[in-house]
C-alpha cells in the first residue's frame, strides 16, 4: 500500500498483516492509539484469539488497510480487547510453563 512505501520495514509490516488476514479466518482489526512511548498500532485478532500487532502511520491509514482487506475495524479505546484474545494469551502462557 502507498502509505507503507516509505521504508522497507513498513512494507514488511504490510506484507505480514496481509498474510495474517489471508491465512486465518474471522480476523478483525483493532486500532491502538499513540502513547508517549509507542506509535499508533493495529492489532489483528483471528477467530480463535491468535493475534499480531504492527505499527501504522496513523488511524486513517489503518482504516484504509482494513477496508481493503474487507475486515471490520474497531477503536480499542472504545471496545477494549475481545475475550478471545485474553483467552489466547492465557493458553499461550499455560503452554509455555
38-71 tens-digit pLDDT? 899 999 999 999 999 999 999 999 999 999 999 9
Q: What is residue 97's predicted lDDT score, i.e. its pLDDT?
A: 78
Reduce the DSSP state of residue 48 to 3 states and report it.
Answer: coil
Task: For domain 2-95, give the CATH number.
Answer: 3.40.1690
**From start to end of 33-80, where are the E strands?**
41-45, 51-55, 73-75
| Rounded Cα distance, 26 and 87, in Å | 16
Position 8 pLDDT exceeds 90: no
Cell, residue 18: 496481509
Residues 29, 72 contacting (CB under 8 angstroms)? yes
Q: Please state whether beta strands 28-32 and 41-45 pair in parallel, antiparallel, or not at all (unpaired).
A: antiparallel
Amino acid at each position: 500500500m502507498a502509505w507503507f512505501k516509505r521504508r522497507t520495514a513498513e512494507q514488511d509490516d504490510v506484507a505480514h498483516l496481509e498474510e495474517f488476514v489471508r491465512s486465518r479466518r474471522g480476523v478483525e482489526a483493532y486500532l491502538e492509539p499513540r502513547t508517549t512511548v509507542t506509535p499508533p498500532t493495529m492489532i489483528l485478532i483471528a477467530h480463535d484469539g491468535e493475534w499480531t500487532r504492527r505499527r501504522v502511520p496513523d488511524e486513517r491509514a489503518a482504516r484504509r488497510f482494513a477496508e481493503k482487506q474487507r475486515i471490520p475495524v474497531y477503536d480499542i479505546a472504545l471496545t477494549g480487547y475481545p475475550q478471545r484474545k485474553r483467552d489466547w494469551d492465557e493458553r499461550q502462557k499455560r503452554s509455555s510453563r
